[in-house]
Amino acid sequence: MKKKIVLDGLRSVARMGETAVIAAKAGIKYAKDRPSNAKLMRETFEDLGSTYIKLGQFIASTPSLFPREYVEEFQGCLDQTPTLAFDYILKVLEEEFAGRRLDEIFASIDEQPLASASIAQVHAARLVSGENVVIKVQKPGVDTILNTDLNVLHVVTKLLEKAVPKVKFASLADIVEEIKVRMVREVDFIEEAQNLDDFVQYLNLTQNQKATAPKVYHQYSTRRVLTMERFYGVPLTDFEVVKRVSNDPSQVLITAMNTWFGSLMLCKSFHADLHAGNLMLLEDGRVGFIDFGIVGQLNPEVWTASMAFMDALQQTNYPLMAQNMLKMGMTADQVDVNVLAQDLERLFGGVILADPQQVLNTNPADLNDIMLDMVAVGERHGIRFPRDFALLFKQMLYFDRFMRVLAPYTDIYADQRLQMVQTLDPNVLLKQ
């Protein structure tokens, strides 16, 4: 125990030194090359590693708090890192399963990882009982680095406040607290296991046999190790394979969307990082949902207002759009709904011209611009959107992009198979 405390202390000191060196290099680069503040910040965050990469991703998904140039720049903040030597992974496993021999749990573990990100590395394995599994192993020192970084985050944000006056740090304490909560949750694999259990329970409750999520082996899972059922299939990023193995690629995505929309209301949290790499078409034709490390929580009022907003958009009912913006947003100001409606009409009227449906069928970059413009309109009226609304909107961008590739002639949000508003009735939930 004492040894661990000493090691953690040394890691904290080393981390602060590393942070200072990288920050100094960024200062030199700025003085020499004069890159944009947003670009320099993104590159510096990527050099600083896991905590700051997650912070960058937070900025990218929170247009209600950060200026457009920062939101757009951090869209490219990637979480892929070089693989870690297998010896380090074994060391973590031995620490987490202390008192037990690894060969009593795993018959074999593949040394070559399936994936590697800033926080964890994923390896294929086989249990002694014969099941094929994947093990998600937290990289050594991540916990210490995270805590050290979070302790200096207040200092970083103060510097940002001075360097970037346009960044709204009026609610600094709230922002930092939310970042802390979300990051701490992401490195707690017990919580991720609970998210998986919750989703599987929802699938069972609704008798959904067209989608699935990995079974968690709780007896072989800890805060730093997550052992799950291994899925066999192709990710939805492999568009050509999906088109070859599925008679109706659009149906694959419709099934995924119907399942996800149902989870918004029936799960404690929703999958907030459902890019195509986290969706699989399994060998048996089911859609597999994986990686529940990043989740959102959308209260019923915000969800209802969000769906009503989208419906009002399709009807070009701008007063109704304004009313629902107020319901999903947060404001202490008295807002003139008529003036807000006029602003929305100017925004969307110029975008969609005579066909409002186009706003839901345009390319993701355009949709992201629309989201940012809508946020800007809200800000002029004192409205700040909850972050989970931005996560919801981002997910709809992902779905739009997938459908455009998998089924380019399908009008995704006009498709009668799509059930955006779900009920407990499984026949309604899975109606296609």
Say whether 143 is catalytic: no
DSSP secondary structure code for residue 64 in this structure: T
33 burial class (0-12, 13-18, 19+ CB within 10 angstroms)? exposed
Interhelix angle 300-314/318-328, nearest 10 degrees: 160
Q: If you search the block for the tokens 């799509």, which residue do you land on?
A: 418
Whole-angstrom distance, CA of residue 89 vs CA of residue 122:
10
Contact between residue 257 and residue 418 where contact means Cβ atoms under 8 Å apart: yes
State which H helix or E strand residue 382 sits in: none
Contact between residue 376 and residue 168 where contact means Cβ atoms under 8 Å apart: no
Whole-angstrom distance, CA of residue 127 vs CA of residue 388:
37
Select from 221, 178, 176, 224 the least CA-distant residue to 196. 221
CA dihedral 60, 63, 69, 71 (to 10 degrees): 0
Q: Phi, psi (5° rounding) for residue 182?
A: -70, -40
DSSP-assigned states of every residue in 275-290: -GGGEEEETTSPEEE-
Whole-angstrom distance, CA of residue 368 vs CA of residue 362:
10
Contact between residue 402 and residue 276 where contact means Cβ atoms under 8 Å apart: yes
- Among residues 273, 291, 373, 388, which one is catalytic? 273
* 3-class secondary structure, 400: helix
**Strand ranges (E), 203-269:** 211-212, 225-229, 233-235
170 burial class (0-12, 13-18, 19+ CB within 10 angstroms)? exposed
Contact between residue 115 and residue 67 where contact means Cβ atoms under 8 Å apart: no
User: Which residues are annotated as catalytic?
Assistant: 273
